[in-house]
């Protein structure tokens, strides 16, 4: 029977990574991540892949996790609530997942895997292969199917001088390539960038220079999962005689987990509690902080506004943004940077120095992996469409036949049968927006209502009536938010009030004893005042009827 490759997320966007591998009616899922919203999606925290295909196809046998970034594990709680399957991953990845599952009260079978050791997951024999990324314990997977080996790289780069952790196991990829690989599914995030990515060691060297030049506090904003960068800061602090304060719960949690697992070494006496950090001379303190993406409630944001209870930023301090802004977050990051500058800090971002490097391979590294694996078929994954196309062009330059390179998006289906890969009928796919990670979904109707309110405002119409006689006891009363020219006593306000009254008193007394009838009349009456306005300028109307 054919083997099918079905992306539920991550192909056509950066985030929400989730890939189904299916054979003989059984299937495993590689990763289940989240996508963060842009300004057009209001009041939600994340999106997860639409899982309807798994429901309709008959369920899931196992979940394989490549590493612990949110765009790969952020949807695990939601997935396991519906499909309680075994979860396979490395120590650090499972430790991060375990904490999230405890928060949501979910009990799951978490099975630790070790690179180069095979294990059975669902219908497949699988091996984790070590890769280098911007988080410890990252792997790809070699999945043995009836049609041959499929390799899913996860996120990866080639770094010959990593800060902690192991190098990408290129030898093992090459061994699989020599034996034969039917399909390579490879990370495309930096496919448009020529050359090689910069080593994490370059960041450590820049930190050493910048920290040595600083005369005040040094504040480094970074992703809490970047344990290797945390290690660099701790080592440099010990060398320069500075102490390090950790600002942000996720940073504390990840540092503790990494230290407990032996993935992070904390020099004696370097870390200081936030309560004591404020008592240190400025030139003796380094602050590691979350909030590099401009999150409004982060430790960095609170320091920028002077609202942090224990840590502060003053004139002469140095602030380093050791990250790249996720698309859509640029404005929020700039706002925080400006607030920090107004407090007198010197703000440094990646435009000035290599204070951040990507965890994703660039084109020359991608050529090396393709040459090592020499797959029969190539499928670029993890990226926006232009990134997938760029990676496909690289594969073809490396000798892969154009008819064996498949650029697909979420919901499209690849089938491997008798050694040949073909595109099949797509399956239902999409995004499910959540108010919180692991929480309940937010419907499209709710999102459209939020968008309408944000763009056009809202009018609240209230009436109180006697539930027995239908007599109007109070109202109608109107309250507007975000509606232009709706001042009390003004022509638009009076027209809406008049419309509401006429509509209410047009109801019979028995009809006025029903809340639904009152609310429909209120809504219709208010809307008439806006009926002749230009298109797209009609506010949402929220009618409220109270029966006494």
What residues are annotated to the active site? 187, 360
DSSP string over 501-534: HHHHHTS-TTGGG-HHHHHHHHHHHHHHTTTTSP
Residue 344 zone, left/alpha/beta (φ > 0; ψ -120 to 50; rest): left
Task: List, in order, residues 6 or more apart from 278 with CB less than 8 Å away.
Answer: 310, 311, 312
Tell me how crowded residue 218 is: count the other CB atoms within 10 A of its CB.
29
Instruction: Retrieve residue 22's tokens.
Output: 């299916």
| CA proximity to 43, closest of 548, 466, 441 | 441
| CA proximity to 143, closest of 90, 188, 88 | 88
Residue 80 in 3-state DSSP?
Answer: helix
Q: Can you state the angle between helices 170-179 and 363-373, rounded to 10 degrees?
A: 40
Residue 71 in 3-state DSSP?
Answer: helix
List of E strands, 73-189 = 87-89, 110-112, 118-121, 124-130, 139-145, 148-152, 181-187
Q: Are 105 and 465 in contact (CB under 8 A)?
A: no
Residue 124 zone, left/alpha/beta (φ > 0; ψ -120 to 50; rest): beta
Task: List, in order, residues 6 or more apart from 90 with CB less than 8 Å away.
Answer: 67, 112, 113, 114, 115, 128, 137, 138, 139
Which position has the token pair 């003989």? Answer: 24
Q: How far apart are CA 173 and CA 460, in angstroms?
A: 63
Torsion, Cα 41 83 428 454, to 10 degrees, reads -10
Omega before 197 cis (within 30°)? no
Tell me how crowded residue 177 is: count the other CB atoms within 10 A of its CB.
19
Task: List, in order, residues 6 or more apart from 342 with CB less than 8 Å away.
Answer: none
Residue 12 in 3-state DSSP?
Answer: coil
Which position has the token pair 């080593």? Answer: 199
Decide the pairing of beta strands 346-348 and 318-321.
Answer: parallel
Q: Are 8 and 49 in contact (CB under 8 A)?
A: yes
Catalogue the long-range contacts made by 441-448 (C-beta closer than 8 Å, 24 or more residues apart). 442/43, 442/44, 447/41, 447/42, 447/44
């Amino acid at each position: 029977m054919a083997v099918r490759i079905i992306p539920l997320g991550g192909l056509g966007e950066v985030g929400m990574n989730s890939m189904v591998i299916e054979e003989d009616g059984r299937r495993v899922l590689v990763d289940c991540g989240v996508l963060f919203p842009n300004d057009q999606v209001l009041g939600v925290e994340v999106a997860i892949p639409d899982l309807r295909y798994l429901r309709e196809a008959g369920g899931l046998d196992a979940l394989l996790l490549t590493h612990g970034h949110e765009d790969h594990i952020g949807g695990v709680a939601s997935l396991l609530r519906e499909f309680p399957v075994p979860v396979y991953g490395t120590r650090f990845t499972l430790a991060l997942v375990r904490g999230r599952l405890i928060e949501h009260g979910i009990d799951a079978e978490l099975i630790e895997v070790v690179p180069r050791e095979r294990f059975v997951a669902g219908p497949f024999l699988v091996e984790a292969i070590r890769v280098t990324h911007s988080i410890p314990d990252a792997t790809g997977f070699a999945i043995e199917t009836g049609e041959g080996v499929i390799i899913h790289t996860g996120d990866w780069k080639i770094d010959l001088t990593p800060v902690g952790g192991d190098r990408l196991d290129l030898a093992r990829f090459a061994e699989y390539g020599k034996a034969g690989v039917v399909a390579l599914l490879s990370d495309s995030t930096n496919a448009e960038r020529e050359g090689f990515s910069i080593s994490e060691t370059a960041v450590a060297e820049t930190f050493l220079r910048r920290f040595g030049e600083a005369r005040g506090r040094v504040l480094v904003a970074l992703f809490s999962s970047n344990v290797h960068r945390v290690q660099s800061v701790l080592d440099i602090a010990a060398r320069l005689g500075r102490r390090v304060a950790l600002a942000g719960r996720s940073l504390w949690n990840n540092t503790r987990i990494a230290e407990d697992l032996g993935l992070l070494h904390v020099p004696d006496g370097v870390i200081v509690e936030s309560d004591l950090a404020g008592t240190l001379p400025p030139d003796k303190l380094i602050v590691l902080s979350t909030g590099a993406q401009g999150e409004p409630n982060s430790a960095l944001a609170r320091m920028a506004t002077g609202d942090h209870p224990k840590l502060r930023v003053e004139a002469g301090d140095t602030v380093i943004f050791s990250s790249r802004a996720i698309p859509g977050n640029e404005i929020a990051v700039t706002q925080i940077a400006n607030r920090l500058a107004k407090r007198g800090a010197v703000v440094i971002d990646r435009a000035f120095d290599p204070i951040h490097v990507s965890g994703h391979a660039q084109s020359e590294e991608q050529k090396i992996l393709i040459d090592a694996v020499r797959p029969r078929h190539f499928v670029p994954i993890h990226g926006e469409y232009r990134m997938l196309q760029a990676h496909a062009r690289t594969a073809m330059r490396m000798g892969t036949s154009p008819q064996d390179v498949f650029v697909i998006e979420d919901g499209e289906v690849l089938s491997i049968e008798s050694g040949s890969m073909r595109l099949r009928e797509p399956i239902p796919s999409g995004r499910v927006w959540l108010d919180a990670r692991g929480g309940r979904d937010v419907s499209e109707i709710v999102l459209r209502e939020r968008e309408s309110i944000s763009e056009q405002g809202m009018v609240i119409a209230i009436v109180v009536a006697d539930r027995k006689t239908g007599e109007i006891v109070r109202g109608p009363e109107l309250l507007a938010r975000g509606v232009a020219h709706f001042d009390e006593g003004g022509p638009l306000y009076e027209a809406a009030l008049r419309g509401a009254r006429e509509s209410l008193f047009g109801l019979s007394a028995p009809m006025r004893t029903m809340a639904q009838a009152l609310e429909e009349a209120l809504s219709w009456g208010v809307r008439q005042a806006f009926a002749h306005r230009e298109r797209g300028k009609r506010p949402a109307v929220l009618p409220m009827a109270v029966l006494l």
